[in-house]
Structure 1
Amino acid sequence: MEALLKFSDGIDNVVTRVGKLAALLAIPLMFVIIYDVIQRKFGGQGSIKLQELEWHLHTGLFMLCFGYAYVRDSHVRIELIRDNLRPRTRAIVEMIGGIVCVLPFCALVMYFGFDFVARSFENHEVSAATTGLTHRWIIKSTIPIGFGLLAMAGLSIFLKCFVFVFGPTNLHKRAGYYVGTHHADLGDIAKIED
């Protein structure tokens, strides 16, 4: 079980590093938006390339940080239900959700996403706008990459929850972060599980 947690931590490190690096896309995104707004307000007209660059940066930021949000338990969920479950039940729900929803969905998006990117690359796809950006495959490649990172995050969470449910109690604190046990000490967790 210790090996599963180490493997999960390794996955977390990769997803976290990519997510933190991708978060830096917010900086050029802000500058492009500010420049575009100023140019529209005082220059008379905007640039289609700038507008497309804005959504390219935004898409890259979103897609490459998707897995990081999942690993950090910062994604949108129904807290009203989840917060009222015991940690063990939360872990079981997360495992079922990961196996039934997250991993199969990511596999489908990656499978079709790579073909989507390959066709875009082979056809030298460019923007539909005459003055738009070229190399559309670059932004499209963030789809399978982003869902690959999300699948890695899903596997990591599954492993942590698996160790929490089936592993020894001495690993519960380390494995239980995702199911909300970081707010309680080990004595409280043992009481909750009994």
Structure 2
Amino acid sequence: MERTLRIARSLEYIVTIIGRTAGWLIPALMIVIVMDVVLRHWFVIGSTALQELEWHLHGALFLLALGYAYFKNAHVRIEIFYERWPVRTQAWVELWGLILMMLPYCAAILWFASDYAARAFLVGESSPSPAGLPDRWIIKSILVLGFAVLGLAGISRGLTLMVFLFGPKSLAQHCGFPDEGAGPYDETDLQTEDARP
């Protein structure tokens, strides 16, 4: 079980690095938006490529941060019920949610999006507009990468939940749940950059 928890923490570290790196797309997106607005409104120069770059950066930002947001508990939950349940019930519900919904959904998206991105690459798909961006396969590949990262986050969380539910109490304390350790998403227990000085 210790090895399982180490694997979960390693996956969490990878997802965290990718999510934090994706955060650097925010300044790039802001610069592109400001340039687009200034060019269109003050110089009356419209740029299809800049507008497409805006949605490419926006899409990449959110897709690459999905897994990180899951670890930070930033996804929508039905808190009315979830918070009132005992900790073990919360863990069981989350584990079954991962097994029955999140991981199959990620697998389905990966299956279809991989073909979607590969076809775009093989045919050399570019923007339908002559003034748009070439290589549309890049943003389509980000769709694949984003859901792969979310899937890794789900696997990591699932492994952690299994250690919490089935492992010895000494390890369950390191899984980040109240009453049996720290808070449910307490960053003090995570072996990520957050814990480094």
| TM-score greater than 0.5 by the shorter chain | yes
Q: What aligned pairs does 1:2-13 form with structure 2 within 5 A after superposition? A: 2-13=2-13
User: What is the Cα deviation at residue 81 of structure 1?
Assistant: 1.7
State the alpha-carbon separation in 1 of the partners of residues 77 and 61 from structure 2.
20
Q: Contact 1:73/1:178 (CA < 8 Å) preserved in 2? A: no
Q: What aligned pairs does 1:15-30 form with structure 2 within 5 A after superposition? A: 15-30=15-30
> 1:103 — aligned with what?
103
State the alpha-carbon separation in 2 of the partners of residues 178 and 64 from structure 1.
29
Question: Alpha carbons of 1:147 and 1:99: their partners in 2 closer, same or farther (altered >3 Å)?
Answer: same
The two structures, once aligned, show a CA RMSD in angstroms of 1.8
> 1:118 — aligned with what?
118
User: What is the Cα deviation at residue 177 of structure 1?
Assistant: 4.3
State the alpha-carbon separation in 2 of the partners of residues 118 and 144 from structure 1.
10
State the alpha-carbon separation in 1 of the partners of residues 179 and 121 from structure 2.
41
Q: Contact 2:173/2:180 (CA < 8 Å) preserved in 1? A: no
> 2:174 — aligned with what?
174
User: What is the Cα deviation at residue 181 of structure 1?
Assistant: 5.9
Q: Deviations over 1:73-118 (max 9, x none)?
A: 2212222221111111111001100010111111111111111111
AA aligned to 2:157 is I
What stretches of structure 1 of length at least 5 have no aligned partner?
185-194
State the alpha-carbon separation in 2 of the partners of residues 148 and 163 from structure 1.
23
> 2:163 — aligned with what?
163
| Structure with higher helix content | 1
Q: Contact 1:67/1:153 (CA < 8 Å) preserved in 2? A: yes
Q: Deviations over 1:1-30 (max 9, x none)?
A: 111110000000111111111111111101
Tell me the SS of whatever aligns to 1:125: coil
State the alpha-carbon separation in 2 of the partners of residues 86 and 69 from structure 1.
24
> 2:79 — aligned with what?
79
State the alpha-carbon separation in 2 of the partners of residues 169 and 25 from structure 1.
41
State the alpha-carbon separation in 1 of the partners of residues 25 and 145 from structure 2.
16
AA aligned to 1:164 is F
AA aligned to 1:182 is A
Q: Deviations over 1:50-72 (max 9, x none)?
A: 11000000011111111111122
